[in-house]
Amino acid sequence: MKSEYIAISLEIIAEFLNDLFSVERFPLNERGGIYLASSRPIKRIGLALKPGEKFQEWMTAESVDALFLHRPWKLEIEHIKDNMGVISYHLPFDEYLTIGFNIRLAQVLNISKLEILGEKENRPIGMLGEISSQSFGNLCDRISKIFGGYEKVSQPINTEITRIAVVGAMTDLLVREAAARGADVYITGQLRQPAAEALRETKIGALAVGHYRSEVWGLRALARILQERWPSLEVVIK
């Protein structure tokens, strides 16, 4: 006997993402959610970081029923037709699915004994843990395969890497804390000049993935999450 088809609404997806991102931890103006309401049943959803070149053509060609946008501010709402809904999450998406305390990324990197490193308004912004012993070159290759490249590196003093920090910010204090807690390498979005002295003094390595690369990885991770939750939902990425 076939199971009854349950229509997926914009509200249902937003409720799921609200729980996933634990949006109650964020200020009201940062929580995200439904950006443009719609009663249209959703069989196909498009994911994009932001509206860009030929965005309207892409929506039409992909025949999406709804959109997820990370940065929706330049969306031309007057061009959204056919009762199409839009969901948007900015800071919750960044903190949960890019560089930071990202459980999915920890699984991909095979980080064990996970610990929190750094907090912002009582929310974790980084993680620290153990990985299988490997050279810094091997770790860089692994990061490159996961994210499609990286921007900059700073060599560590340790030749074998067994403990890494993955943090959504880079400050002098955070680098020193990571080193004090045994991290061999500090992985982040961008290398920040105020932390340069801490890198030199602690001799911890650093690797900058690039903010855009981390967002693209997060978008792909979100596609997998949505399809795990609703196997019948078609998800396309811009």
Summarize pLDDT for 2-17 with one digit per residue, the tens. Answer: 444 567 999 999 999 9
Closest CA to 224 of 105, 128, 126: 105
Mean pLDDT, all residues of the chain: 94
**Alpha-helix runs per DSSP H in the chain:** 10-21, 55-62, 91-97, 103-108, 136-147, 172-180, 196-202, 211-229
Summarize pLDDT for 164-188 with one digit per residue, the tens. Answer: 999 999 999 999 999 999 999 999 9
Assigned fold of 10-90+216-237: 3.40.1390
167 and 117 Cβ atoms separated by less than 8 Å: yes
90 and 69 Cβ atoms separated by less than 8 Å: no
pLDDT band at residue 82 using 50, 70 and 90 as cut-offs: confident
Total number of residues shown for the chain: 238
* Cross-strand partners of 205: 185
**Every domain of the chain and the residues it spans:** 10-90+216-237, 100-208
d(CA 167, CA 189): 8
115 Ramachandran zone, left/alpha/beta (phi>0; psi -120 to 50) = beta
Pick the CATH number of 100-208 from 3.40.50.10800, 3.40.1390.30, 2.30.40.10, 3.90.1150.10: 3.40.1390.30
Whether 193 shows a pLDDT value over 80: the answer reads yes
d(CA 192, CA 202): 15
Confidence (pTM): 0.92
Closest CA to 205 of 175, 173, 236: 175
176 and 197 Cβ atoms separated by less than 8 Å: no
Q: Mean of the pLDDT values across residues 152-172?
A: 96
What pLDDT, on the 0 to 100 scale, is given for residue 2? 44
* Cross-strand partners of 127: 116, 166
Q: Mean of the pLDDT values across residues 203-218?
A: 97
Which is it for strands 205-208 and 152-154: parallel, antiparallel or unpaired?
Answer: antiparallel
What pLDDT, on the 0 to 100 scale, is given for residue 81? 79
